[in-house]
């Protein structure tokens, strides 16, 4: 009667068995399962009493006891258990039988020797623990008794037949009684030999090694055929399967032999695994060196091991061990193996925390490797937790950090909100382009602005693009001037025909007399492009709306601004680090070896203009003489519709005359600093915090800044102290 009211213990069991993928493992059935409360995956070994003999039930109860009491990193981890009248349950960490694991690896190309060396190391270490520390004999070692966890680590199980070497009160039947097929794994000397009691386990270890490399063992005599056993392991394997039990080595001795120089278990993978097992007691300097070397070795490590063994240690080392920037490179390498969901859960929280670090090495490595994790960052995290820390790099005293901060904006811009992109970022770009003493950084700022232009709103584009690129064309650094020209060309669709004629072409025409040939070449190409646009409208005014359709277009979303990407990647942004090392602070770089410098020569030259021929002296050729002519014709194009076609023809004739001047030599008095007033565009300058000043105060402030810049440049040229090195601190 009382049994009617008794609760079924299976219903109260905290684990649920999943019906799929059930496998036979000796007298047990191995099933996958999960914890009912958390859905945490587990493995469940089930034995049905009704389907087994009395001897098998005795072995199952002994296995439950041993699994529960034996705890070691290389022995199958016990989680929970249940014993009822009908069945026994052993819940362990999620594992796969070794035979199934090796079959899966064979489909992928086979398990590597590194993985097998560490797996055998773990099994031998577990066997040594049983034999030498617990004084127990396993008596059931084989492929069926080894399991593999999610990290690819081998675990010793099959504890059904474990006995004490000092004698047990309860005798257990040998494996061959339960399964006659296991008799071929028994040692040749039989149970009553004069050797050590663990010699049988060592013999079975040799059988396990043979099967790992060669497959199922057909008969005991096959052990003499080495097959695919590695040469480094052969002498030690032969000791295990020697006919004389007295010469078989203790498991601990076998482990030492294999770990000796040149041994099968003496490799970088085993060394790394052993270090990770003891990382909590290692010195900080040892941890730093280990993580530095780890990046080089990760490519040869198994993927599962990296995900489930290395990654947790990297996260722990950063969170609690103050490992710093050294963990970043291996962390991102391991991150490639994760799914998007896993990346969000495990790595993104750590990255967000890293950005708040004051460690410069950490910050610059994060910026350099942002491309590897930017796709996993959501816009809310970027704007509230990452961007506020990144912008500090714009004002850093280290040029390398300022450079990487500018480059990182290419990746962050698509995820920035209105305020951060159109206000905060533009303010920093205006300051960098006008005041940074490193020409390559000013150049990269211009490049970056051109690339992120599609993400800006229409009002901000109208306000800053022409001003910023015009300022760049007056930079004393040649690459910056080239970047300004390329910026105009790459963003041509955002300018109206009126702006092209009255503001952009005058600026570009000035650069046709630039001392650097690359700048001149780019200027001529850009002029042709804009003239073609104007001529198209002149021929068919109805096309004006189509040509200007993107002028007031709304900002694009992430990923849509790559249509023209690459216009300044080569020769500009990729050279920044080199240029910082080669060019002194604030100085202009010399023209490239293949550039042609304009040098006016003595003697009269006849210049053909649209109105009349003018007899001039070559030494008088200058921007001041040419620019009024240029502006006059460009404005005629815009304001006199009836004469547009005629004026375009005149413009082409005038441009041809400029080409003729390009071949003239340059006088010794040319100074690149006089090519234009560096930073006089009011729209762009107003983003840099000068909104509260009157025009007179602003002009005075600019004159003062200009005077200080010129004085600093003269002092630097006079001192001639050489180039500024990366990481060096500037002295006042």
> Is it the case that residue 567 has pLDDT exceeding 60?
no
Bigger pLDDT: 589 or 230?
230
Separation of alpha carbons 478 and 439, rounded Å: 9
Tell me the pLDDT band of 641, cut-offs 50, 70 and 90. very low
- The pLDDT assigned to 664 comes to 32
Separation of alpha carbons 718 and 714, rounded Å: 6
Residue 592 has what DSSP assignment?
P
Q: Which helix (H) or strand (E) holds 35?
A: strand 28-35
- The pLDDT assigned to 462 comes to 87
What value does the mean pLDDT take over residues 94-108? Answer: 91
> Is it the case that residue 480 has pLDDT exceeding 90?
yes
What value does the mean pLDDT take over residues 90-107? Answer: 92
Are 571 and 581 contacting, i.e. CB atoms less than 8 angstroms apart?
no
- The pLDDT assigned to 473 comes to 93
> Smallest Cα–Cα separation from 28: which of 141, 143, 154, 158?
158
Bigger pLDDT: 83 or 574?
83
- The pLDDT assigned to 279 comes to 84
> Smallest Cα–Cα separation from 625: which of 520, 510, 528, 505?
510
Task: Give the DSSP letter string of 421-488.
Answer: IIIIIHHHHHHHHHH-S-HHHHHHHHHHHHHHGGGS-HHHHHHHHHHHHHHHTT-SSHHHHHHHHHHH
- The pLDDT assigned to 558 comes to 53
CA angle, residues 508, 509, 513, in degrees to nearest 5: 110
> What's the distance, CA 572 to chain centroid?
23
Handedness of CA 138, 143, 145, 146 (dihedral sign): positive
- The pLDDT assigned to 7 comes to 57
> Smallest Cα–Cα separation from 59: which of 197, 172, 202?
172
| Domains of the chain, each with CATH number or no CATH | 9-94 (3.30.200.20), 97-269 (1.10.510.10)
363-384 pLDDT, tens digit per residue, is 888 898 888 888 888 898 899 9
Residue 397 has what DSSP assignment?
S
Q: Which helix (H) or strand (E) holds 122?
A: helix 113-128
- For β-strands 95-97 and 78-83, DSSP reports them as unpaired
Are 137 and 162 contacting, i.e. CB atoms less than 8 angstroms apart?
yes
Separation of alpha carbons 272 and 84, rounded Å: 44
Among 113-122, 250-259, 619-628, 633-642, the range scoring the smallest mean pLDDT is 619-628
Coil, helix or strand at residue 219: coil
Are 216 and 89 contacting, i.e. CB atoms less than 8 angstroms apart?
no
Separation of alpha carbons 563 and 699, rounded Å: 40
Length in residues, the chain: 732
Q: How far is CA 281 from CA 8, 129, 327, 525, in A?
A: 47, 21, 18, 65
> Is it the case that residue 155 has pLDDT exceeding 90?
yes
Coil, helix or strand at residue 336: coil
> Smallest Cα–Cα separation from 371: which of 341, 395, 404, 339?
404
Beta bridge partner(s), residue 481: none
> Is it the case that residue 469 has pLDDT exceeding 80?
yes
176-225 pLDDT, tens digit per residue, is 777 777 888 888 877 666 667 888 899 999 999 999 999 999 888 899 89
Task: Give the DSSP letter string of 172-208.
Answer: ---HHHH-GGGGGGS-TT-SS-SS-TTHHHHHHHHHH
Helices H / strands E in the chain, number of each: 34, 13
- The pLDDT assigned to 693 comes to 55
- The pLDDT assigned to 257 comes to 93
Residue 145 has what DSSP assignment?
G
Coil, helix or strand at residue 44: strand
Q: Which helix (H) or strand (E) holds 46?
A: strand 41-48
> Is it the case that residue 559 has pLDDT exceeding 50?
no
Bigger pLDDT: 647 or 407?
407
SS3 per residue for 358-391: CCHHHHHHHHHCHHHCHHHCCHHHHHHHHHHHHH
- The pLDDT assigned to 667 comes to 30
Biggest CA pair distance of the chain: 127
Q: How far is CA 608 from CA 509, 649, 655, in A?
A: 17, 13, 10
- The pLDDT assigned to 682 comes to 45
Q: What is the phi/psi pair of residue 423, to 5°?
A: -120, -65
Among 45-59, 343-357, 427-441, 671-685, the range scoring the smallest mean pLDDT is 671-685
Mean pLDDT of the chain: 78
In the chain, what percentage of residues exceed pLDDT 90? 38
Burial class from Cβ neighbours inside 10 Å (0-12, 13-18, 19+) for residue 35 reads middle
> Is it the case that residue 108 has pLDDT exceeding 90?
no
- The pLDDT assigned to 624 comes to 31
Q: How far is CA 399 from CA 620, 710, 723, 725, in A?
A: 40, 21, 13, 9
520-551 pLDDT, tens digit per residue, is 999 999 999 999 989 999 998 888 888 888 88
Q: Which helix (H) or strand (E) holds 348?
A: helix 348-354
Separation of alpha carbons 686 and 297, rounded Å: 52
pTM reported for the whole predicted model = 0.67
């Amino acid at each position: 009667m009382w049994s009617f009211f008794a609760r079924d213990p299976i219903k109260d069991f905290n684990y649920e068995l999943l019906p799929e993928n059930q496998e036979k493992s000796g007298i047990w059935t191995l099933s996958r399962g999960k914890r009912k409360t958390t859905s945490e995956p587990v493995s469940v070994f089930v034995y049905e009493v009704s389907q087994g003999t009395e001897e098998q039930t005795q072995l199952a109860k002994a296995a439950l006891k041993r699994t529960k009491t034996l705890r070691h990193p290389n022995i199958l981890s016990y989680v929970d258990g249940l014993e009822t009248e009908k069945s026994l349950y052993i819940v362990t960490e999620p594992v796969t039988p070794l035979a199934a694991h090796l079959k899966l690896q064979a489909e992928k190309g086979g398990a590597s020797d590194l993985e097998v060396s560490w797996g055998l190391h773990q099994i031998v270490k577990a066997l040594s623990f049983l034999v030498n520390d617990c004084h127990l004999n396993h008596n059931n070692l084989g492929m069926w008794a080894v399991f593999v966890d999610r990290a690819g680590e081998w675990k010793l199980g099959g504890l059904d037949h474990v006995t004490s070497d000092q004698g047990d009160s309860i005798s257990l039947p040998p494996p061959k009684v339960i399964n006659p097929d296991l008799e071929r794994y028994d040692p040749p000397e039989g149970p009553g030999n004069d050797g050590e009691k663990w010699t049988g386990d060592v013999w079975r270890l040799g059988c396990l090694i043979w099967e790992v490399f060669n497959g199922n063992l057909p008969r005991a005599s096959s052990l003499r055929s080495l097959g695919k056993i590695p040469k480094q392991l052969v002498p030690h394997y032969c000791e295990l399967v020697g006919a004389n039990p007295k010469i078989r080595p203790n498991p601990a001795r076998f482990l030492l032999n294999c770990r000796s120089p040149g041994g099968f278990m003496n490799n970088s993978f085993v060394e790394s695994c052993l270090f990770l097992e003891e990382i909590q007691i290692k010195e900080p300097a040892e941890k730093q060196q280990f993580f530095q070397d780890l990046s080089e070795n990760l490519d040869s490590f198994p993927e599962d091991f990296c995900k489930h063994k290395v990654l947790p240690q990297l996260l722990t080392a950063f969170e609690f061990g103050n490992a710093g920037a050294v963990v970043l490179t291996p962390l991102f390498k391991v991150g490639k193996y994760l799914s998007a969901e896993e990346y969000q859960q495990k790595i993104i929280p750590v990255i967000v925390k890293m950005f708040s670090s004051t460690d410069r090495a950490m910050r610059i490595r994060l910026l350099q490797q942002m491309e590897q994790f930017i796709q996993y960052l959501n816009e809310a995290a970027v704007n509230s937790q990452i961007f506020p820390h990144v912008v500090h790099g714009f004002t850093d005293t280290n040029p390398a950090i300022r450079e990487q901060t500018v480059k990182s904006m290419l990746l962050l811009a698509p995820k920035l909100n209105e305020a951060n992109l159109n206000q905060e970022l533009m303010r920093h770009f205006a300051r960098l382009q006008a005041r940074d003493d490193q020409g390559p950084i000013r150049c990269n700022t211009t490049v970056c602005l051109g690339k992120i232009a599609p993400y800006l709103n229409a009002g901000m584009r109208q306000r800053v693009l022409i001003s910023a690129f015009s300022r760049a064309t007056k930079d004393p650094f040649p690459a910056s001037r080239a970047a300004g020209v390329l910026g105009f060309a790459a963003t041509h669709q955002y300018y109206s025909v009126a702006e092209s004629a009255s503001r952009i072409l005058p600026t570009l025409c000035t650069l046709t007399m630039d001392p650097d040939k690359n700048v001149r070449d780019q200027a001529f190409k850009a002029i042709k492009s804009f003239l073609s646009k104007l001529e198209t409208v002149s021929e068919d005014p109805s096309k004006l709306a189509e040509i200007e359709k993107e002028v007031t277009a709304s900002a694009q979303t992430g990923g849509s601004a790559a249509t023209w990407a690459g216009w300044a990647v080569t020769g500009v942004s990729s050279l920044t680090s080199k240029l910082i090392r080669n060019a002194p602070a604030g100085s202009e770089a010399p023209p490239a070896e293949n550039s042609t410098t304009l040098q006016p020569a003595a003697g009269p030259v006849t210049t053909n203009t649209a109105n009349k021929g003018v007899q001039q002296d070559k030494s008088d050729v200058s921007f001041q003489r040419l620019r009024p002519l240029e502006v006059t014709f460009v404005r005629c194009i815009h304001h006199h519709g009836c004469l547009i076609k005629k004026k375009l023809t005149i413009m082409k004739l005038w441009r041809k005359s400029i080409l003729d001047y390009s071949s003239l030599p340059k006088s010794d008095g040319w100074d690149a600093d006089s090519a234009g007033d560096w930073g006089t565009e009011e729209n762009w300058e107003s983003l840099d915090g000068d909104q509260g000043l009157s025009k007179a105060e602003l002009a005075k402030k600019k004159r003062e800044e200009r005077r200080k810049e010129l004085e600093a440049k003269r002092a630097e040229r006079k001192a001639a102290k050489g180039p500024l090195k990366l990481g060096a601190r500037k002295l006042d």
